[in-house]
């Protein structure tokens, strides 16, 4: 059996591991195993590719492996769960940048056909857009820049001109790939377009943007695979691109919005016509909340980004166990876009060893919401905002939410009356059956746990 056949067999094995690992990622219970399986597939692919290239001097590769391992270990151990969304955004961005560099390097292979030039153009364009777009998403998620949409007069005209320029210089580059001037112009335009693509999108839509940029990073890798004639890179990029698009569509459906509406509506920008919220906030202290929970026979817990900020998942698990010991049924209602990235709440709760059996999606809890004695909202805001159901002037209107306001009693755990990440006020806080438990979520729940003790 010659070397070419062995290499292709190794690539097939890697592709199978990628597909099987991706399938395992569809369930929280098997996600860790799926990640490991996919990592093994990538290790095989990298090793075989290096051997196939006949590289003699591996010193720079060894330096890259060591440096990457150090950064990876440092990030895994030091990055807080609250910072995981922006870390994922950076991963997407650097994936796009890597594809851009691979496409660029393909110019020096000596193969300058029109097809190769087009694939290089696509890898540079998509990779550049993914890189700078992900940096903007990182800035908005980490709140290092304003999370509201950045809109200006003539913005659509500017974006249209950018697209026309990209197509024009792409044609020039495909006609003459040896002219590096067109290449540099394309790189610059792709970077600018990535910024212009993301700045009009509000912080409330960042989970969808992260998913979409993840898809873009896969498409960029796929284009780079065509540019360097690497079948496995084409397969891996296609898998990431397709799965990212599917996840993006699922999240858009969960928000009852189209992808074009997410990308071009300027969601989260100030709007007129929203109803004025009237009513009186009714605070509650942990001691009084305990008496209500102690008598409850069913409790719904709705986690949000505030739970991640407070790192309250472990004390929430303690409260769950105490309630169950008291004969109470406890269910977690997880909204598809809760937190700031897909699956954010699932990861947090898995970290606290919360059983997957008690995690239910929005469509599972809403039909029985009126039968819950208490709904405990921990740092969630937009995903439980009844304005999405009641106020046609609200930018959230039409978005499916967890209807906690229909349960018998609602406890909302927040530090203040500030609006959510989308910048939309929440009438839930003023409902007759709502009680506000102000303070750090971890401290508030710890106080409830002590009352049960």
**What are the pLDDT digits (tens) for 257-287?**
777 777 665 544 444 445 566 678 899 999 9
pLDDT band at residue 54 using 50, 70 and 90 as cut-offs: low
Catalytic residues: 382
Closest-CA residue to 216 (of 141, 124, 342): 124
CB atoms within 10 A of CB 155: 16
pLDDT for residue 208: 83
Q: Residue 318 pLDDT more than 90?
A: yes
Comparing 141 with 53, the larger pLDDT belongs to 141
Distance CA 97, CA 100 (A): 5
Distance CA 314, CA 334 (A): 17
Closest-CA residue to 204 (of 394, 408, 429, 450): 394
pLDDT for residue 265: 56
What are residue 332's DSSP bridge partners?
301, 359
The CA distances from residue 65 to 60, 109, 282, in Å, are 9, 24, 56
Q: Residue 382 pLDDT more than 90?
A: no
> Do 302 and 380 meet the contact criterion of CB atoms below 8 Å apart?
yes
Closest-CA residue to 388 (of 373, 379, 399, 378): 399
CB atoms within 10 A of CB 257: 18
Q: Which two tokens stand for residue 131?
A: 């890189």
pLDDT tens digits, residue range 60-112? Answer: 888 888 998 898 888 878 887 777 788 888 989 999 999 999 999 888 876 77
Q: Report the b/e string of 193-230 with b at 16+ CB within 10 A.
A: bbebbbbbbbbbbbbbbbbbbbbbbbbbbbbbbbbbeb
Q: Residue 323 pLDDT more than 90?
A: yes
Pairing type for strands 298-303 and 409-414 reads unpaired
pLDDT for residue 53: 63
> Do 173 and 179 meet the contact criterion of CB atoms below 8 Å apart?
yes
63 burial level (CB within 10 Å; 0-12, 13-18, 19+): exposed
H/E element, 117 = helix 114-141
Q: What is the dihedral of CA 219, 224, 229, 231, to 10 degrees?
A: -40
Q: Over the chain, what is the mean pLDDT?
A: 86
Q: Residue 409 pLDDT more than 90?
A: yes
Helices (H), 255-384: 259-264, 286-294, 305-310, 313-325, 344-351, 362-365
């Amino acid at each position: 059996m010659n070397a070419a056949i062995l290499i292709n067999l190794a690539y097939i094995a890697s592709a199978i591991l990628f597909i099987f690992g991706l399938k395992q990622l569809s369930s929280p219970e098997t996600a860790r195993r799926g990640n490991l399986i996919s990592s093994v597939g990538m290790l095989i692919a990298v090793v075989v590719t290096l051997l196939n290239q006949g590289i003699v001097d591996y010193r720079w590769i060894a330096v890259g492996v060591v440096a990457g391992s150090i950064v990876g270990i440092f990030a895994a151990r030091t990055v807080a769960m609250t910072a995981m969304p922006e870390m994922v955004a950076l991963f997407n961005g650097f994936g796009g940048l890597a594809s851009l560099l691979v496409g660029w390097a393909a110019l020096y292979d000596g193969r300058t056909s029109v097809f190769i030039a087009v694939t290089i153009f696509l890898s540079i364009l998509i990779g550049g857009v993914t890189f700078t777009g992900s940096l903007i998403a990182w800035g908005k998620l980490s709140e290092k820049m304003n999370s509201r949409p950045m809109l200006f007069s003539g913005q659509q005209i500017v974006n249209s001109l950018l697209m026309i320029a990209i197509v024009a210089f792409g044609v020039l580059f495909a006609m003459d790939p040896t002219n590096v001037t067109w290449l540099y112009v394309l790189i610059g335009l792709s970077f600018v377009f990535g910024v212009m693509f993301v700045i009009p999108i509000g912080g409330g839509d960042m989970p969808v943007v992260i998913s979409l940029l993840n898809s873009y990073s896969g498409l960029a890798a796929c284009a780079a695979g065509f540019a360097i004639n690497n079948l496995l890179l084409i397969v891996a990029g296609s898998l990431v691109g397709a799965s990212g698009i599917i996840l993006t569509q699922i999240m858009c459906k969960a928000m009852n919005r189209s992808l074009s509406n997410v990308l071009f509506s300027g969601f989260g920008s100030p709007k007129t016509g929203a109803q004025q919220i009237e009513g009186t906030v009714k605070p509650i202290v942990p001691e009084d909340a305990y008496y209500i929970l102690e008598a409850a026979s069913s409790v719904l817990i709705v986690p949000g980004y505030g739970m991640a900020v407070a790192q309250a998942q472990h004390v929430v698990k303690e409260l769950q166990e105490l309630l169950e010991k008291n004969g109470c049924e406890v269910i977690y209602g997880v909204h598809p876009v809760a937190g700031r990235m897909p699956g954010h709440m699932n990861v947090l709760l898995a970290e606290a060893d919360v059983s997957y059996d008690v995690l239910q999606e929005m469509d599972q809890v809403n039909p029985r919401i009126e039968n819950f004695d208490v709904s405990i909202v921990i740092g969630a805001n937009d995903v439980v905002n009844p304005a999405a159901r009641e106020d046609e002037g609200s930018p959230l209107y039409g978005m499916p939410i967890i209807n906690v306001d229909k349960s018998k009693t609602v406890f909302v755990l927040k530090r203040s009356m500030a609006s959510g990440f989308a910048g939309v006020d929440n009438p839930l806080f003023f409902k007759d059956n709502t009680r506000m438990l102000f303070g750090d979520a971890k401290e508030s729940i710890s106080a409830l746990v002590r009352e049960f003790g």
